[in-house]
Amino acid sequence: MTFYIKQNDTTPAIKATLKDGDGTVINLTDASVRFHMRKIDSTTSVVDALASVVSPATSGIVQYAWSGSDTATAGMYSAEFEITYGNGKIETFPNSDYIRVEILDDIA
């Protein structure tokens, strides 16, 4: 999946429906979520921020609302959502790859 957004834009939010390896939607009741993003071929995060679970939590949908500096630099990025369940266990999605984010150059 590739998510496209223009440089300096803060909408639309990036959303994902989280599923396990069998395709079953993840129940996010009592879970918290963080969004991580870094430039491709880099080890330095440019975003490490709280994201949100979309109601109802049983839908498995999460989203991250961009802040102004998140999209300041055009380029290709890798991203993921990190879930901390109510029991303290952590799982990252997607767990077999990354979400690709392309921030396109702003003309004006």
Find out whether the peptide bond into 12 is cis, omega within 30 degrees of 0.
yes
Global pTM value:
0.94
For residue 1, what pLDDT band results from cuts at 50, 70 and 90?
Answer: confident
| Mean pLDDT to the nearest integer, 92-107 | 95
pLDDT at 76 over 90: yes
Residues 6-58 have pLDDT tens digits of 999 999 999 999 998 899 999 999 999 999 999 999 999 999 999 999 999 99
Domain that holds residue 44: 2-104
What is the CATH classification number for the domain harbouring 6?
A: 2.60.40.10
Cβ within 8 Å of residue 61, ≥6 positions away: 15, 16, 17, 18, 53, 54
Domain count, the chain: 1
